[in-house]
Protein backbone atom coordinates (compact mmCIF):
# COMPACT_ATOMS: atom_id res chain seq x y z
CA UNK A 1 0.00 0.00 0.00
CA UNK A 2 2.82 2.39 0.89
CA UNK A 3 4.61 1.55 -2.37
CA UNK A 4 1.39 2.30 -4.29
CA UNK A 5 0.98 5.68 -2.55
CA UNK A 6 4.60 6.55 -3.31
CA UNK A 7 4.28 5.52 -6.98
CA UNK A 8 1.07 7.54 -7.43
CA UNK A 9 2.61 10.62 -5.82
CA UNK A 10 5.72 10.28 -7.99
CA UNK A 11 3.59 9.91 -11.12
CA UNK A 12 1.52 13.01 -10.28
CA UNK A 13 4.67 15.01 -9.52
CA UNK A 14 6.32 14.12 -12.84
CA UNK A 15 3.24 14.54 -15.02
CA UNK A 16 2.36 17.88 -13.41
CA UNK A 17 5.91 19.13 -13.98
CA UNK A 18 6.97 19.22 -10.30
CA UNK A 19 4.24 21.66 -9.37
CA UNK A 20 5.23 21.99 -5.65
CA UNK A 21 8.72 23.19 -6.62
CA UNK A 22 8.30 25.27 -9.77
CA UNK A 23 5.00 26.90 -8.78
CA UNK A 24 5.86 27.53 -5.15
CA UNK A 25 5.25 31.28 -5.47
CA UNK A 26 1.70 30.69 -6.71
CA UNK A 27 0.52 28.29 -4.02
CA UNK A 28 2.25 30.23 -1.24
CA UNK A 29 0.53 33.45 -2.31
CA UNK A 30 -2.85 31.69 -2.52
CA UNK A 31 -2.55 30.21 0.99
CA UNK A 32 -0.10 31.88 3.38
CA UNK A 33 -0.11 35.05 1.30
CA UNK A 34 -3.84 35.45 1.82
CA UNK A 35 -3.15 35.90 5.55
CA UNK A 36 -1.40 39.22 4.91
CA UNK A 37 -3.43 40.46 1.96
CA UNK A 38 -7.02 41.59 1.73
CA UNK A 39 -9.24 38.56 2.16
CA UNK A 40 -12.35 38.04 0.14
CA UNK A 41 -15.50 37.65 2.16
CA UNK A 42 -16.84 34.14 2.18
CA UNK A 43 -20.15 33.62 0.47
CA UNK A 44 -22.86 31.48 1.99
CA UNK A 45 -21.53 28.02 2.68
CA UNK A 46 -18.12 28.84 1.26
CA UNK A 47 -14.79 29.25 3.01
CA UNK A 48 -11.74 31.23 1.94
CA UNK A 49 -8.56 29.63 0.62
CA UNK A 50 -6.79 30.39 3.89
CA UNK A 51 -9.59 28.83 5.96
CA UNK A 52 -9.49 25.71 3.79
CA UNK A 53 -5.72 25.47 4.21
CA UNK A 54 -6.01 25.94 7.98
CA UNK A 55 -8.63 23.20 8.20
CA UNK A 56 -6.37 20.81 6.26
CA UNK A 57 -3.41 21.67 8.51
CA UNK A 58 -5.54 21.12 11.60
CA UNK A 59 -5.98 17.50 10.61
CA UNK A 60 -2.26 16.83 10.29
CA UNK A 61 -0.48 19.25 12.60
CA UNK A 62 -1.09 17.25 15.77
CA UNK A 63 -1.81 13.61 15.04
CA UNK A 64 0.42 13.48 11.96
CA UNK A 65 3.42 15.62 12.86
CA UNK A 66 3.64 14.83 16.58
CA UNK A 67 2.00 11.54 17.54
CA UNK A 68 2.42 10.00 14.07
CA UNK A 69 6.10 10.85 13.66
CA UNK A 70 6.89 9.73 17.20
CA UNK A 71 5.09 6.42 16.66
CA UNK A 72 6.91 5.84 13.36
CA UNK A 73 10.27 6.60 14.98
CA UNK A 74 9.64 4.16 17.83
CA UNK A 75 8.27 1.41 15.58
CA UNK A 76 10.57 1.78 12.56
CA UNK A 77 13.75 3.29 13.94
CA UNK A 78 15.62 6.44 12.80
CA UNK A 79 15.44 5.39 9.13
CA UNK A 80 11.69 5.97 9.18
CA UNK A 81 12.37 9.72 9.33
CA UNK A 82 14.18 9.64 5.97
CA UNK A 83 11.33 7.84 4.25
CA UNK A 84 8.86 10.28 5.77
CA UNK A 85 10.89 13.08 4.18
CA UNK A 86 10.71 11.38 0.79
CA UNK A 87 7.02 10.46 1.02
CA UNK A 88 6.10 14.00 2.11
CA UNK A 89 7.69 15.48 -1.03
CA UNK A 90 5.65 13.32 -3.40
CA UNK A 91 2.66 13.16 -1.06
CA UNK A 92 2.06 16.85 -1.68
CA UNK A 93 0.81 16.00 -5.17
CA UNK A 94 -1.44 13.26 -3.82
CA UNK A 95 -3.06 15.83 -1.55
CA UNK A 96 -3.25 18.25 -4.48
CA UNK A 97 -5.11 15.64 -6.55
CA UNK A 98 -7.56 14.99 -3.71
CA UNK A 99 -8.33 18.71 -3.41
CA UNK A 100 -8.79 19.17 -7.16
CA UNK A 101 -11.12 16.17 -7.41
CA UNK A 102 -13.04 17.29 -4.33
CA UNK A 103 -13.50 20.72 -5.90
CA UNK A 104 -14.53 19.22 -9.25
CA UNK A 105 -17.23 16.95 -7.81
CA UNK A 106 -18.57 19.08 -4.96
CA UNK A 107 -22.26 19.99 -4.55
CA UNK A 108 -24.45 22.34 -2.54
CA UNK A 109 -26.99 21.07 -0.06
CA UNK A 110 -30.42 22.54 0.63
CA UNK A 111 -28.89 25.21 2.91
CA UNK A 112 -26.44 26.31 0.24
CA UNK A 113 -23.40 24.74 1.93
CA UNK A 114 -20.74 22.90 -0.06
CA UNK A 115 -20.21 19.19 0.53
CA UNK A 116 -18.08 16.59 -1.19
CA UNK A 117 -15.06 14.38 -0.73
CA UNK A 118 -13.58 11.11 -1.98
CA UNK A 119 -16.86 9.22 -1.78
CA UNK A 120 -18.45 11.68 -4.19
CA UNK A 121 -15.73 11.64 -6.84
CA UNK A 122 -15.59 7.85 -6.55
CA UNK A 123 -19.32 7.72 -7.18
CA UNK A 124 -19.46 10.29 -9.98
CA UNK A 125 -15.92 10.22 -11.39
CA UNK A 126 -15.30 6.48 -11.25
CA UNK A 127 -19.05 5.68 -11.50
CA UNK A 128 -18.66 3.26 -8.61
CA UNK A 129 -21.26 3.82 -5.85
CA UNK A 130 -20.19 0.55 -4.19
CA UNK A 131 -16.59 1.75 -3.83
CA UNK A 132 -17.87 5.10 -2.54
CA UNK A 133 -19.99 3.35 0.10
CA UNK A 134 -17.04 1.20 1.18
CA UNK A 135 -14.84 4.28 1.49
CA UNK A 136 -17.48 6.10 3.56
CA UNK A 137 -17.81 3.11 5.90
CA UNK A 138 -14.09 2.69 6.48
CA UNK A 139 -13.64 6.46 6.68
CA UNK A 140 -16.09 6.47 9.59
CA UNK A 141 -14.14 3.72 11.33
CA UNK A 142 -10.86 5.55 10.70
CA UNK A 143 -12.31 8.75 12.15
CA UNK A 144 -13.09 6.90 15.37
CA UNK A 145 -9.59 5.43 15.56
CA UNK A 146 -7.09 7.86 14.05
CA UNK A 147 -9.22 10.98 14.19
CA UNK A 148 -10.72 10.53 17.65
CA UNK A 149 -9.21 7.92 19.94
CA UNK A 150 -5.58 8.58 19.03
CA UNK A 151 -5.86 12.35 19.37
CA UNK A 152 -7.82 12.30 22.62
CA UNK A 153 -5.44 9.69 24.03
CA UNK A 154 -2.39 11.78 23.13
CA UNK A 155 -3.91 14.94 24.61
CA UNK A 156 -5.05 13.33 27.85
CA UNK A 157 -1.71 11.54 28.35
CA UNK A 158 0.26 14.76 27.78
CA UNK A 159 -1.94 16.76 30.17
CA UNK A 160 -1.65 14.07 32.83
CA UNK A 161 2.12 13.70 32.52
CA UNK A 162 2.80 17.46 32.60
CA UNK A 163 -0.02 18.91 34.75
CA UNK A 164 -1.44 15.77 36.47
CA UNK A 165 -4.90 16.48 35.02
CA UNK A 166 -7.05 13.31 35.22
CA UNK A 167 -8.01 11.89 31.80
CA UNK A 168 -11.72 12.16 32.68
CA UNK A 169 -11.43 15.94 33.06
CA UNK A 170 -9.58 16.18 29.73
CA UNK A 171 -12.31 14.12 28.08
CA UNK A 172 -15.08 16.43 29.34
CA UNK A 173 -13.31 19.54 28.02
CA UNK A 174 -12.55 17.89 24.68
CA UNK A 175 -16.18 16.84 24.21
CA UNK A 176 -17.40 20.34 25.05
CA UNK A 177 -15.05 22.33 22.81
CA UNK A 178 -15.16 19.84 19.92
CA UNK A 179 -18.95 19.93 20.11
CA UNK A 180 -18.94 23.73 19.83
CA UNK A 181 -16.90 23.48 16.64
CA UNK A 182 -18.44 20.43 14.96
CA UNK A 183 -22.08 21.31 15.60
CA UNK A 184 -21.57 24.59 13.77
CA UNK A 185 -20.80 22.79 10.53
CA UNK A 186 -17.80 23.02 8.25
CA UNK A 187 -17.87 26.82 8.06
CA UNK A 188 -17.45 27.14 11.83
CA UNK A 189 -14.67 24.53 11.84
CA UNK A 190 -12.90 26.49 9.10
CA UNK A 191 -13.23 29.80 10.93
CA UNK A 192 -11.92 28.34 14.21
CA UNK A 193 -9.03 26.69 12.36
CA UNK A 194 -8.14 29.96 10.65
CA UNK A 195 -7.78 31.61 14.07
CA UNK A 196 -5.97 28.84 15.94
CA UNK A 197 -3.79 27.12 13.34
CA UNK A 198 -1.49 30.09 12.53
CA UNK A 199 -0.52 30.35 16.21
CA UNK A 200 -0.23 26.57 16.59
CA UNK A 201 1.93 26.37 13.45
CA UNK A 202 4.25 29.16 14.60
CA UNK A 203 4.55 27.61 18.06
CA UNK A 204 5.24 24.17 16.57
CA UNK A 205 7.89 25.44 14.12
CA UNK A 206 9.54 27.65 16.74
CA UNK A 207 9.71 24.77 19.20
CA UNK A 208 11.16 22.44 16.57
CA UNK A 209 13.80 24.95 15.47
CA UNK A 210 14.71 25.67 19.10
CA UNK A 211 15.16 21.96 19.81
CA UNK A 212 17.45 21.60 16.77
CA UNK A 213 19.50 24.69 17.68
CA UNK A 214 19.98 23.58 21.28
CA UNK A 215 21.18 20.18 20.04
CA UNK A 216 23.14 21.40 17.01
CA UNK A 217 26.26 19.49 18.09
CA UNK A 218 24.35 16.23 17.83
CA UNK A 219 22.80 17.00 14.44
CA UNK A 220 25.52 15.43 12.20
CA UNK A 221 25.44 12.18 14.18
CA UNK A 222 21.63 12.16 14.12
CA UNK A 223 21.50 12.66 10.34
CA UNK A 224 24.11 9.93 9.91
CA UNK A 225 22.03 7.58 12.04
CA UNK A 226 18.91 8.35 10.00
CA UNK A 227 20.66 7.66 6.68
CA UNK A 228 22.43 4.55 7.94
CA UNK A 229 19.19 3.09 9.25
CA UNK A 230 17.32 4.00 6.05
CA UNK A 231 19.95 2.21 3.91
CA UNK A 232 21.33 -0.47 6.24
CA UNK A 233 23.04 -2.37 3.42
CA UNK A 234 24.86 0.55 1.80
CA UNK A 235 25.52 3.37 4.24
CA UNK A 236 27.37 3.22 7.53
CA UNK A 237 27.52 6.85 8.46
CA UNK A 238 26.41 6.55 12.07
CA UNK A 239 29.19 4.51 13.62
CA UNK A 240 29.15 6.73 16.70
CA UNK A 241 25.80 6.76 18.53
CA UNK A 242 24.13 10.00 19.53
CA UNK A 243 25.11 10.76 23.12
CA UNK A 244 22.18 11.05 25.53
User: How far apart are alpha carbons 238 and 150 in whole angstroms?
Assistant: 33
Tens of pLDDT, residues 105-122: 888 877 777 778 889 999
Q: Where are the beta strands (DSSP E) in 89-165?
A: 107-108, 114-115
User: How far apart are alpha carbons 229 and 242 in whole angstroms?
Assistant: 13
Tens of pLDDT, residues 32-55: 666 666 555 554 456 666 777 777
User: How far apart are alpha carbons 183 and 176 in whole angstroms?
Assistant: 11
Contact 232, 208 (CB under 8 A): no
Is the full-model pTM beyond 0.75? no
Q: What are the pLDDT tens digits along the chain (244 aa)?
A: 888 888 999 999 999 888 888 888 887 777 666 666 655 555 445 666 677 777 777 766 766 677 778 888 888 888 888 988 888 888 888 888 888 888 888 888 777 777 788 899 999 999 999 999 999 999 888 877 766 787 788 888 888 988 999 999 988 988 888 888 878 777 788 888 888 888 888 888 898 899 999 999 999 999 988 988 888 664 444 444 555 5
CB atoms near residue 60 (< 10 Å): 12
Distances (CA, A) of 58 to 51, 55, 64, 71, 157: 10, 5, 10, 19, 20
**Residue 55, SS3 per DSSP:** helix
Amino acid sequence: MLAAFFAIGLSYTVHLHFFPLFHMKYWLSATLGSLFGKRKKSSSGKVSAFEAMSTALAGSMGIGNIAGVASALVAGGPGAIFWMWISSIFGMMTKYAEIVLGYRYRHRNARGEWYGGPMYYMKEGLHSPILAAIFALFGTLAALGMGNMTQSNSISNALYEVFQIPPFISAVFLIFFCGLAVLGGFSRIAKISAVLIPFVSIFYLAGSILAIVLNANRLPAAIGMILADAFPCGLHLAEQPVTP
